[in-house]
Structure 1
Amino acid sequence: MKNLLTSRLIIKVFVSAALTITSFFSYSITTEASQWENLIATRMLELQESDKRWISIDLSNQRLIAWEGNKAVYAVIVSTGKASTPTRLGTFKVQTKYRTTRMTGPGYDVPDVPYTMYYDGGMAIHGAYWHNKFGTPVSHGCTNVAVNHAKWLFEWASVGTPVVVHE
């Protein structure tokens, strides 16, 4: 009987500790996510109050909108990263632009990728001639756009143009 009571006590202590740890980490993750969302929302408001050109990538709706201050000037359906290779949330700037480039990585090697604008390391907004699944996350983290739309964006944006990726 004593062993049974000891076992029950150990289980209660373990469950209590697990719930406490889970609550702490859940709170920490939720708090961090909320702070990140607030930072993104604040940046979007700042850009809307300016007269700057900027790009919004909405992962939830698979939409890209080109803005001039608070005026949307161009909107397209895109394909962002799939669950296994997601497009990263955040605020960025166009770093480099290439009329065409080769993109390689684990499981892909694509030549002549048109109208590429890198904004987050290896992540870019670019034309995609190899699929027509816009509106569905299919990429390795980049934002795929139909080639004609990528051309427009490439000509409209410059190095330094802000890019905001959000849900």
Structure 2
Amino acid sequence: MQSWIRSSGIRSSKTFCTGVALVVATLFSWAPPLAGTPNSTTATASSVDENGISESYIRQTSQPRWIEIDLSEQRLRAWEGKKLVYSYRISGGKRATPTPIGRFRINSKYRTHRMRGKGYNIPDVPYTMYFYEGYAIHGAYWHNRFGTPVSHGCVNLPVKQARNLYNWASYGTLVMVHN
């Protein structure tokens, strides 16, 4: 058996070991989006803040960074634990095309990305971070009506602020969307 391993080059192949390590790391690092609202069974009345976010839930996540999107205020807040890092005005979804509510995770990031849907086809959308199906947080160069719901369900930010958030957030960062 050892002679077969030696002759096949597997034992001495750094490329093979690196490839296996990458596959294993990818399999164990991926986290599916979390749908729904915060789990009320994990929180007590004293551990839930004014936004309904459980402190114990924040401590249990593997990353202390998380993004809060408050649709009633049209505001995005980026947190490191309990410390506010960014607070930006956004444009969420219109009444006919609402932004989904729940807990999600950033599952893909694109420096620029073409976005298409019914009634729109926008090239080079900057700093796009998808968090649920076709819904993303991204920069919007085509309007300046932040603070007003005008999107098809995505969360629009001014380009400079979208860049800051894109550089700050990573794959798997928690995104909590609420009214």
Taking structure 2 as the reference length, the TM-score comes to 0.69
* 8 Å contact from structure 2 (residues 64, 80) kept in 1: yes
* 8 Å contact from structure 1 (residues 49, 69) kept in 2: no
- Unaligned 5+ segments in structure 1 are 1-34
Return the letter of the residue paired with 2:113.
T
1:107 to 1:44, Cα distance in 2 relative to 1, 3 A: farther
Return the letter of the residue paired with 2:105.
K
Query: When you count helix as a share of all residues, which structure comes out higher?
Result: 1
Return the letter of the residue paired with 1:103.
M
Instruction: Tell me, yes or no, if structure 1 residue 85 matches structure 2 residue 97.
Output: yes
Return the letter of the residue paired with 1:110.
I
For 1:144 and 1:130, how far apart are their aligned partners in 2? 10
Instruction: Tell me, yes or no, if structure 1 residue 115 matches structure 2 residue 127.
Output: yes
Question: In structure 2, which of residues 127, 138, 154 is the aligned counterpart of residue 142 of structure 1?
Answer: 154
1:41 alignment partner, SS class: coil
Instruction: Tell me, yes or no, if structure 1 residue 54 matches structure 2 residue 66.
Output: yes
For 1:44 and 1:145, how far apart are their aligned partners in 2? 27
- Unaligned 5+ segments in structure 2 are 1-35, 41-50
1:38 CA displacement? 6.2
For 2:84 and 2:59, how far apart are their aligned partners in 1? 10
Equivalent residues in 2 for 1:62-81 (5 A)? 62-81=74-93
* 8 Å contact from structure 2 (residues 37, 103) kept in 1: no
Tell me the residue number matched to 1:41: 52
- CA RMSD for the aligned pairs? 2.1
Tell me the residue number matched to 1:27: none
Taking structure 1 as the reference length, the TM-score comes to 0.74
Question: In structure 2, which of residues 153, 163, 168 is the aligned counterpart of residue 156 of structure 1?
Answer: 168
* 8 Å contact from structure 1 (residues 48, 70) kept in 2: no
**Max Rg structure:** 1
Instruction: Tell me, yes or no, if structure 1 residue 124 matches structure 2 residue 136.
Output: yes
Instruction: Tell me, yes or no, if structure 1 residue 102 matches structure 2 residue 127.
Output: no
* 8 Å contact from structure 1 (residues 134, 145) kept in 2: yes
* 8 Å contact from structure 1 (residues 66, 74) kept in 2: yes
1:90 to 1:44, Cα distance in 2 relative to 1, 3 A: farther
* 8 Å contact from structure 1 (residues 44, 164) kept in 2: no
1:147 CA displacement? 0.1
* 8 Å contact from structure 1 (residues 78, 135) kept in 2: yes
* 8 Å contact from structure 1 (residues 49, 70) kept in 2: no
* 8 Å contact from structure 2 (residues 38, 103) kept in 1: no
1:92-134 superposed Cα distances (whole Å, 9 cap, x missing partner): 0000000000000000000000000000010000000000000
